[in-house]
Amino acid sequence: MIVERVNKKILALHFSKSAESYDSLAHLQREIAYQLVDWALAGENIRPGKLRVLEIGCGTGFLTCFLIQRIVPELLVAVDLAHGMLDQARLNLSESLTRVELVRADGEKLPFPGRSFDLVASSTTFQWFDSLGESLSGLYALLRPGGRIFFSTLGRDTLKELKESYRSSAGQMGIKLTAGRYGRPLAGPQEIKDCLENTGYTGVSVKEMFKFEFFPSARDFLLSLKKSGANNPNFRPMSLPVERKLLEKVTSFYDKRYRVDGSVYASYQVIFASGKKPGGADGA
């Protein structure tokens, strides 16, 4: 199967446009970032002020703040593709900018020399990458021996309710939607574990959990996706009348099938993963 590459220009535009309202909408993303740090650092003996940290997809600074508080790095380089997100992060992190360097760059095409960082971290960003395996390999090269990576990403069962609503509604209309209509094919926990180990990371740990968001209606849910910048950057609409009819069917199906106690829900498969580059003072 040929998988269409992510339209990074549209992706950056979506997130830049949503930057000012992102913090008020992205409650789930903030929660995941907090839990990621808590999970990844449990039992770790990290000396404050000694680490050079790279964060991929910093957004408005959720994970950045938690990393500064928990790790107290010598330097934290926070990268994002969307200039609007970086502008908002600069405001949110104004008191910490002496230790934070904000860089606009694609997380899959990073402008840093090898062995530059002791730790790479990311939260809910890797699902936008074209190739998880190649990206993990590139980040491996940026780590110093003994360096660590930890990240959260969304798995293949994320938003399965929306995908089913589109499949059912399109079927009723006799329309065959492309695979890209549902967003990118995402990895599962075992695939992520295999990617890390095949790249050379040791001590690999992977954990999954399911989280839910609730909305008054399917339309409110779809509007929230759009306002947060998380809508499909590769979306190609059909004719306007067909799109309107399809959306009506999708929201009607969703409202009826996925409603509990007066609210509709959306589920997210969240995957936490970590690993280490062999070497360093404490060995492999």
Is the alpha carbon torsion for 110, 204, 182, 63 positive or negative? Answer: negative
- CA distances, 169 to each of 92, 129, 243 (Å): 42, 28, 11
In the predicted model, is pLDDT for residue 2 greater than 60?
A: no
* CATH number reported for the structural domain that contains residue 189 in this entry: 3.40.50.150
113-128: per-residue pLDDT in tens? 999 999 999 999 999 9
223-238: per-residue pLDDT in tens? 999 999 888 877 777 8
Q: Is residue 148 packed enough to be buried (19+ CB in 10 Å), middle (13-18) or exposed (0-12)?
A: buried
Which domain covers residue 157, as residue numbers? 8-276
Cβ(70)–Cβ(40) below 8 Å: no
Cβ-defined contacts of 211-215 (< 8 Å, 24+): 211/28, 211/31, 211/32, 211/267, 211/268, 211/270, 212/265, 212/266, 212/267, 212/268, 213/27, 213/28, 213/265, 213/266, 213/268, 214/260, 214/263, 214/264, 214/265, 215/263, 215/264, 215/265, 215/266
Residue 2 lies in a domain: no
Global pTM?
Answer: 0.93
Q: Could you give the number of structural domains in the chain?
A: 1
Q: What's residue 43's pLDDT?
A: 72
Residue 190 lies in a domain: yes
197-216: per-residue pLDDT in tens? 999 999 999 999 999 999 99
Residue 1 lies in a domain: no
170-205: per-residue pLDDT in tens? 999 998 887 666 667 899 999 999 999 999 999 999
Structure tokens at 81: 């593709």
Structure tokens at 61: 């600074």
Q: What's residue 180's pLDDT?
A: 67
Q: Please tell me whether residue 168 adopts helix, strand or coil conformation.
A: helix
Residue 283 lies in a domain: no
What's the rounded Cα separation, in Å, for the pair 68 and 70?
6
Q: What's residue 284's pLDDT?
A: 39
Structure tokens at 147: 């360096």
Residue 281 lies in a domain: no
Residue 35 lies in a domain: yes
In the predicted model, is pLDDT for residue 158 greater than 50?
A: yes
Q: 4 or 193: which carries more pLDDT confidence?
A: 193
Residue 29 lies in a domain: yes
Q: What's residue 3's pLDDT?
A: 62
Radius of gyration of the chain (CA): 20
Residue 3 lies in a domain: no
